[in-house]
Each structure stands twice: as C-alpha cells, then as structure tokens.
Structure 1
Amino acid sequence: MSASNYEQHNTALLIVDPYNDFMTEGGKLFNAIKETADASHMFDNLRQIIPTVRAAGIQVFIVPHHRSHPGDFDHWQHINMFQQAGLPTKAFEVGTWGGEFNPEFGPQPGDVVIKEHWAQSGFANTDLDLQLKQHGIQKIILVGLIANSCIESTGRFGMELGYHVTLVKDATAAFSHAGMVAAQTNAPMFAHAILTTDELLSKLPVHVA
C-alpha cells in the first residue's frame, strides 16, 4: 500500500493516551514528558494534525490507558515493572482531573473511544481491532504518548494484525531523549511509513464539502 494515499474511508488517526495527566500543565506526568515534547514540538504538531484529519473526514480513534483504581494490581502474578513503578503516582486516576481527557486533544463528537489498555498496546485486551475492522480501516496513523512504549507497542501489534502503520515521529514524546531515540530506531521494524507532521499533512486528502 502506498504511504502517500490516506483515503477517508480506510484511514484512521489513533490518538494514544490524551489524558490531562500527560497533556495538560499541572498533570502528574506533564513535566516528565515536557522536555521531549518541546523538542519534537508535539503539542504544536498535534494542533495541526488533529483538525486537518477531522476536516479531511478521516475517522479519529482515542486509545486510552487504563485509569488508576484502588487495588488494580492486587494479587496479580506478573505485574510489569512499569506498572509497579506507577502505583505511587496513580496517574490517570479515575474520578480525578488527571484521569479526564485533555479537552483539546481528547475525544470530540463522532470519535471512537476504545476500551482502556492495561499496559502498552492499544490492541491487547481491548476492542481496538474490532472497532477498526467494523469501520473498514486498513491504515492507522499513530500520534500521542509514549513513543517507546504505547505508541511502539500499538504500532507493532497493528502491523502483526495486517494494518498499514504510519508513525508521525514529531507528534509524540517520551520520558527521556533516550526513549525517543529508541522509538525512532525501532520504528522501521513495524512502521510502513515514518513521517514528520509536514510530510503527513502533505499526503492527507483535501476536504471536499
């Protein structure tokens, strides 16, 4: 499939983890991603990508991380080290401002909000594959957080399921520069297209009223 042809009927934008705790100043993890987000100009680039995608008639999917609840991992046999490290933070805590979607980058009417993923992949133990198939989607464009965990894992899983995967490398961020380097080093293993925001925008269909 050509990376230069993102048709409205079979392309989707996946916005991963657009919570206040990540994407809004004052969020629990905002400062942790701020340095790399500033370096990639992630926020400014999302402000270009998301409205352009919506105007082009491309379906938007919100792919959210599991929100923290008391006792989430009690009696788990194999809690991941990242999940363990996050327990004191209670990031994206249910019932709190941080666990709500950022009003600018989160869902709008007409978006599809996917069930929350527990670890990294937006496909694992969620309805993402089902929803994409029901909407006739063959090509997924990935933006959001975190570059070397949820973005990479979702992209890898999507490729294995047969989707055409596009990574927008300057519309994501990580907890460190090393995380960004790792994500971009690994991207050719799963992404069919690795684009900048400007490159993506030049390939999107022109909206026809």
Structure 2
Amino acid sequence: MTTPTGPTCPPPRPGPRRRSSSRREPGAARSTPTSSHRRARSSWPEHWSSSGFANTDLDLLLSQHRISRIVLIGMRANTCIDTTARFGQELGYHVTFVRDTIAAFSPEEMQATFELNAPTYAHAILTTDEFVKALPPNAS
C-alpha cells in the first residue's frame, strides 16, 4: 500500500507522536490548546497527516477536559482543516469553522471546502465577528 506524499502531505510517521513546542520541527503543524489548558499540560500532540485527530491523543485530551465543541481555524482549508473537522464530527464533536481565519492556496480550494464539503458535516460556518458575538458573556 502506498501513502501519498507531496507538498500537502508530509511523509508518514509511525505511531502517535507528542513533542513539546520547544522541540517542534520546522514546518510541523500542531494542535494548540486554549490558554487555560496550557497550564494543565506542557506537551500537546502534533499531527503528522491531514487530521489533527489521527495518530494523536487529541480526542482523549478533549474528552478529559469535557470539551465537546471544536472551533477550527488555520491553514489549509481543503486538507488539514477539512479532514480534522470531518474526523471530529465523526467522533461526535460539534464542529465550527471560522471562515475568515482559514486559508488555502487557491480560491478553488476555499470554494470546495466552504461551498461543497463543510455544509455536509459542519454545525456552523461563521465569520470572526459572528463567532465572537455568539460567545457567552463570561468567555472572555
């Protein structure tokens, strides 16, 4: 079986990996906790493929902190963001995209994500302003 590699897919790495942010390899993406959770854990899982859940303990960490909603921002709309969102939805998380905080390498990639894919599984697709207005008053 061959695993695709290239500019959008880093080479596959065996098994789950966790590295502290101070030892992060150049170009490696990582899942970032909220500031309140940073105090509880000094090392968060990096993801080595398109999903932030695959081969990481992200689901376990979110479950331990009783987190049931994930908000996705970052790079690359049609790979990492899309795959993490799908995986999260399949695990039972409420998935929110903040559209103007997500990027891709082309308008077509953004269109594929936000007009074709995300509406089939995301619970909400919001702008930053809409997201901030939807936060409870004590969230800041």
TM-score by length of 2: 0.73
Residue in 2 that maps onto 1:153: 83
Deviations 1:24-54 (A, max 9, x none): xxxxxxxxxxxxxxxxxxxxxxxxxxxxxxx
Instruction: Return the alpha-carbon distance in structure 2 between the equivalents of residues 200 and 84 of structure 1.
Output: 28
Residue in 1 that maps onto 2:18: none
Instruction: Return the alpha-carbon distance in structure 2 between the equivalents of residues 152 and 100 of structure 1.
Output: 18
Q: Any conservation in 1 of the 2:74–2:101 contact (CA below 8 Å)? A: yes
Comparing both chains, which one has the higher relative contact order based on Cα–Cα distances under 8 Å and sequence gaps of 6 or more?
1
Residue in 2 that maps onto 1:82: 6
Q: Secondary structure at the match of 1:207?
A: helix
Once the 2 structures are TM-superposed, how far is the Cα of residue 119 of structure 1 from its aligned partner? 1.2
1:39-78 correspondence to structure 2 within 5 Å: 77-78=1-2
Residue in 1 that maps onto 2:45: 115
TM-score by length of 1: 0.51
* Count of equivalent residues: 123
Q: Any conservation in 2 of the 1:142–1:166 contact (CA below 8 Å)? A: yes
Aligned-residue sequence identity (percent) comes to 47
Residue in 2 that maps onto 1:138: 68
Instruction: Return the alpha-carbon distance in structure 2 between the equivalents of residues 107 and 85 of structure 1.
Output: 26
Residue in 1 that maps onto 2:120: 189
Q: How much is the aligned-residue C-alpha RMSD, in angstroms?
A: 3.0
Once the 2 structures are TM-superposed, how far is the Cα of residue 142 of structure 1 from its aligned partner? 0.7
Q: Any conservation in 2 of the 1:83–1:119 contact (CA below 8 Å)? A: no
Instruction: Return the alpha-carbon distance in structure 2 between the equivalents of residues 195 and 84 of structure 1.
Output: 25
Once the 2 structures are TM-superposed, how far is the Cα of residue 117 of structure 1 from its aligned partner? 1.6
Q: Any conservation in 2 of the 1:121–1:157 contact (CA below 8 Å)? A: yes
Residue in 2 that maps onto 1:207: 138
Once the 2 structures are TM-superposed, how far is the Cα of residue 106 of structure 1 from its aligned partner? 8.8
Tell me: CA distance 1:108–1:169, structure 2 relative to 1, closer, same or farther (3 Å): same
Deviation beyond 2 Å, 4+ runs, structure 1: 81-87, 98-101, 105-114
Structure 2 gap segments, 5+ residues each: 12-22
Tell me: CA distance 1:150–1:118, structure 2 relative to 1, closer, same or farther (3 Å): same
- In structure 2, give the amino acid aligned to 1:175: F
Once the 2 structures are TM-superposed, how far is the Cα of residue 116 of structure 1 from its aligned partner? 1.8
Q: Any conservation in 2 of the 1:114–1:126 contact (CA below 8 Å)? A: no
- In structure 1, give the amino acid aligned to 2:127: T
Structure 1 gap segments, 5+ residues each: 1-76, 88-93
Structure of larger gyration radius: 1
Q: Any conservation in 2 of the 1:120–1:153 contact (CA below 8 Å)? A: yes
